[in-house]
């Protein structure tokens, strides 16, 4: 990331770091330790990258307090408790500064006269904002966005290009919704009739997304049948996730790409859901559960455990079962040999 300009003293204040080296250094870019060039700041948190420390062309390195600094070097160091999360914080800060430059309402765009839009917002070209919409201070809505009637969006939320937000959705403060996500589309509600056909069950509820939620690109969150599909505060979702109608996702839960949660299931708080996890409907799942990638959850689960496999089972039980599973081919061969010996004995 280039086209930035920071005095290292100011940078140190942002990330609460102690400077070891040149306090007058100017930073012009951010990069990884291998490809960094002069003027860049990078970070070192994983010891396997320590070998690059003597060869990097970076001018400054964000580094953990626990790592011993080399004695002979011209590098400048920014010492912090956790360099990885600190570098992420720095990236977020720079992104905020770039986004904060966006302001005003671009043409062409449509905003219904009944909507209440704070003066300090950005609305990109070709956006559509329906009746009785409320948008709070500092919110950024990028081009080609659709916001349906009676929707409420809080302060300092970022809606990236192509997002579709259906009627009556409620989105909190400091949320991020990435490109082409859909919030509030119909839940998958169909009932078989006497003709063997499926009749549509209207979905008339809404979606509530609380504060500090991040939603990745091409993710879909369906509205509830009658009440609300709820995403609690602090939830982070990856790209390509399906959240069905009436689902509740608990606080500070993280969900990786291509996962799906079927209708009316409740996830507790602080869950960690791996990629391609599938969760069936009408379940109640506890707090602090870790779901390994491609886990299939088919029944209620208690809190504070790690689940693996299909159907999902506790990690310890899965590992014991897997030891036996790996041996099945050799066990089969032994059974065949025993069967042959038994057959020969019976023949005699």
What pLDDT is stored for residue 272 in this prediction? Answer: 98
Distance CA 5, CA 221 (A): 39
What pLDDT is stored for residue 91 in this prediction? Answer: 83
Q: Domain segments of the chain: what residues?
A: 6-100
Distance CA 46, CA 177 (A): 30
What pLDDT is stored for residue 103 in this prediction? Answer: 87
Architecture (CATH level 2) of domain 6-100: 3-Layer(aba) Sandwich (3.40)
The answer to whether 121 and 137 have CB atoms below 8 angstroms apart is yes
Distance CA 33, CA 52 (A): 7
pLDDT, tens digit (0-9, with 9 covering 90-100), for 63-99 = 998 888 877 678 899 999 999 888 888 888 777 777 7
Name the catalytic one among 5, 178, 245, 282: 245
Question: Is 5 an active-site residue?
Answer: no
Distance CA 113, CA 107 (A): 16
The answer to whether 25 and 77 have CB atoms below 8 angstroms apart is no
Distance CA 109, CA 117 (A): 13
The answer to whether 275 and 296 have CB atoms below 8 angstroms apart is no
Kindly give the pairing relationship between strand 26-27 and strand 170-171: unpaired
What pLDDT is stored for residue 226 in this prediction? Answer: 94
What pLDDT is stored for residue 328 in this prediction? Answer: 86
Q: Which residues of the chain have pLDDT under 50?
A: none
């Amino acid at each position: 990331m280039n086209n930035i300009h920071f005095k290292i003293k100011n940078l140190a204040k942002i990330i609460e770091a102690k400077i070891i080296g040149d306090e007058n250094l100017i930073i012009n870019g951010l990069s990884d330790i291998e490809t960094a060039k002069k003027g860049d700041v990078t970070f070192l948190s994983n010891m396997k990258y320590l070998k690059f420390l003597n060869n990097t062309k970076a001018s400054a390195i964000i580094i953990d307090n626990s790592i011993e600094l080399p004695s002979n070097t011209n590098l400048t160091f920014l010492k912090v408790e956790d360099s990885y999360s600190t570098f992420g914080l720095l990236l977020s800060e720079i992104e905020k500064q770039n986004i904060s430059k966006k302001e005003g309402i671009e043409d062409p765009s449509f905003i219904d006269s009944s909507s209440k839009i704070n003066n300090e917002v950005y609305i990109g070209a070709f956006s559509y904002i329906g009746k009785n919409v409320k948008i709070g201070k500092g919110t950024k809505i990028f081009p080609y966005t659709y916001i349906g009637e009676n929707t409420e969006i809080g302060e300092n939320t970022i809606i990236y290009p192509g997002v579709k937000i259906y009627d009556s959705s409620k989105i909190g403060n400091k949320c991020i919704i990435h490109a082409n996500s859909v919030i509030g589309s119909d839940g998958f509600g169909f009932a078989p009739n006497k003709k063997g056909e499926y009749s549509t069950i209207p979905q008339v509820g809404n979606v509530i997304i609380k504060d500090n939620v991040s939603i990745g690109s091409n993710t879909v969150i369906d509205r509830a049948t009658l009440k609300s599909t709820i995403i609690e505060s602090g939830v982070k979702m990856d790209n390509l996730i399906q959240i069905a109608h009436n689902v509740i996702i608990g606080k500070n839960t993280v969900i990786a790409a291509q996962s799906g949660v079927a209708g009316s299931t409740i996830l507790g708080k602080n869950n960690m859901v791996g990629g391609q996890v599938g969760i069936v409907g009408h379940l109640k799942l506890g707090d602090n559960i870790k779901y390994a990638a491609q886990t299939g959850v088919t029944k209620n689960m208690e809190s504070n455990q790690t689940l693996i496999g299909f159907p999902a089972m506790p990690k310890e039980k899965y590992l014991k079962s897997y030891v036996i599973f790996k041996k099945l081919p050799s066990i089969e061969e032994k059974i065949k040999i025993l069967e042959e010996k038994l057959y020969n004995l019976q023949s005699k």
